[in-house]
Amino acid sequence: MATGSEPEWLHAVAARLAVLSRCENVYTEIAAIECLFGMDWRQEDVAPWILSVIDMFGPARCMFGSHMPIAGLSVGFERLYNAYQEIAARFSAVERDDLFRGTAAARFKPR
């Protein structure tokens, strides 16, 4: 958690995620933003959280998700993925591919 102004329960979630992130076989989906930050979340509020999760797990063990249809009732799919794009802009092309496609493709192989 980056700003220090987050609710205490969010710090508790981050602490538990940090423990899980030490397990190399654990991957995480970054989704359901509205469940943590409310239906009218703002990018500047979620970016530190998202970046801290990516920092803990690394892009190769993170994947972006939409939590549809709930995200559609919140800010909408387009705004959600535009926020993901802007937040992920600091990562390399390979890391962005992991976040948006590669990690999910590797974890959820069709059988």
Instruction: Encode pLDDT of 59-108 as tens digits.
Output: 999 999 887 776 666 777 788 899 999 999 999 999 999 999 999 999 88
- Evaluate whether 3 touches 37 at the Cβ level (below 8 Å): no
List of residues 6+ apart from 47 with CB closer than 8 A:
83, 87
- Closest C-alpha to 98, from 58, 43, 66: 58
Structural domain contains residue 22: yes
Q: How many domains does the chain have?
A: 1
The percentage of residues in the chain with a pLDDT greater than 90, rounded to a whole number, is 54
Range of the domain at 91: 8-107
Structural domain contains residue 88: yes
Structural domain contains residue 19: yes
Alpha carbons within 13 angstroms on the beta-carbon side of residue 15 total 6
What is the value of pTM for the model shown?
0.85
List of residues 6+ apart from 68 with CB closer than 8 A:
77
Confidence of residue 5 (pLDDT cuts 50, 70, 90): low
Q: What pLDDT is recorded for position 13?
A: 85
Structural domain contains residue 2: no
- Closest C-alpha to 30, from 46, 44, 15, 10: 46
Pick the more confident residue, 35 or 70.
35
List of residues 6+ apart from 104 with CB closer than 8 A:
29, 63
